[in-house]
Amino acid sequence: MTMLRKAMGAALMALAVFPVVACSPKEERYESVCQLIRRSIVETDSKGKPELIDLELEWDPCPGDQFQVVRGGREFAECMAKYEIGDYLPVHVLHQWDTRGYYKWDLYRVGDCERPIERGAEGSYEKSQECTDRKSFGRTTGFTCSRKPFRELVKVCPWMSRE
């Protein structure tokens, strides 16, 4: 009877967990193009070789000012050395649900260089904004910027959606 009770308990637990797993948002993968606009060595080893590197990339096809900063380790830094500032590079994007209640994205490949994603690692982030002119009496008097992903941006670059 004890074995039957344990088996039934395990079956009930599996059924209770199934709806949570079945309804979890899933990961999506995308490909795009970015321009390499900055490379910074964050840390070097005793021989002066890069241990950590930051790259700043501008999303070429995305409307507005969309930038991505990615940090990578030694292998990524060595691989990225062949690219020049100004180069346009294919990128591979992982769009995934964050436990804080929104989607986020990160790059797992830049050019032909693999970049392992480390969840919660510091150094990688995105800078995104759309700015419009503010006018008064037909003259531009300033500008207003929004950092929320807008409809046109998400239509062209869906991985930037937070919803």
Q: In whole angstroms, what is the distance from residue 66 CA to residue 68 CA?
A: 7
Q: Please give the pLDDT value at position 24.
A: 58
Q: 91, 80 in Cβ contact below 8 A?
A: no
Q: What are the helix (H) ranges across the chain?
A: 2-22, 74-80, 151-156
Q: Which of 12-21, 68-77, 87-96, 100-109 has the lowest mean pLDDT?
A: 12-21
Q: What is the mean pLDDT of residues 142-158?
A: 73
Q: What percent of the chain has pLDDT over 90?
A: 42
User: Degrees (nearest 5) of the Cα angle 50, 90, 43?
Assistant: 10
- Taking alpha carbons only, the member of 112, 103, 108 closest to residue 82 is 112
Give the pair of three-digit tokens for residue 53: 């590197």
What radius of gyration do the chain's Cα atoms show? 22
Q: What's the pLDDT score for residue 15?
A: 47
Average pLDDT, the chain: 81
Distance CA 109, CA 92 (A): 5
Between 117 and 11, the more confident residue is 117
Q: What is the mean pLDDT of residues 49-62?
A: 93
